[in-house]
């Protein structure tokens, strides 16, 4: 973790990297970001966030195979109310089939 970063969320998600990146802009209010492998960072220095994507073994259900990632979100410069709002929006945009 970089100085000042706070781990705000850690969860496993059944999603491909491409699908994650397609949904991410709306989930972060279209704030500009840069992606380098599994490290995705906002370009807003005042309220910085970083997402660390780590691949996990596929989820296998019979013949179905689903990609999975551990998703860790780190926030810098967020007060509790703003952090809560960020995480609620993130969860909303990645919720599927009723959550």
Helices (H) and strands (E) in the chain — how many of each? 2, 5
Q: How confident is the model at residue 1 (pLDDT cuts 50, 70, 90)?
A: low
Q: d(Cα 67, Cα 33) in Å, to the nearest integer?
A: 23
Which pair of tokens denotes residue 81? 């109310």
Give every strand in the sheet of 39-42, ordered side by side: 6-14, 64-76, 48-61, 39-42, 33-36
Mean pLDDT of 8-17: 93
Percentage, residues of the chain above pLDDT 90: 81
Orientation angle between helical segments 80-94 and 17-27, nearest 10 degrees: 130
pLDDT digits (tens, 9 = 90+) for 44-76: 887 799 999 999 999 999 999 999 999 999 999
Domains of the chain plus CATH, in order, are 7-94 (3.30.1370.80)
Q: pTM value?
A: 0.88
């Amino acid at each position: 973790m970089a100085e000042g970063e706070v781990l705000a969320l850690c969860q496993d998600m059944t999603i491909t990297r491409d699908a994650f990146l397609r949904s991410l802009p709306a989930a972060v209010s279209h704030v500009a970001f840069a992606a380098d492998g599994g490290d995705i960072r906002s370009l807003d220095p005042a309220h910085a966030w970083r997402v660390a994507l780590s691949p996990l073994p596929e989820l296998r259900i019979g013949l179905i195979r689903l990609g999975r990632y551990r998703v860790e979100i780190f926030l810098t410069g967020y007060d509790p109310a703003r952090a809560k709002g960020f995480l609620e929006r993130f969860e909303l945009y990645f919720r599927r089939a009723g959550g």
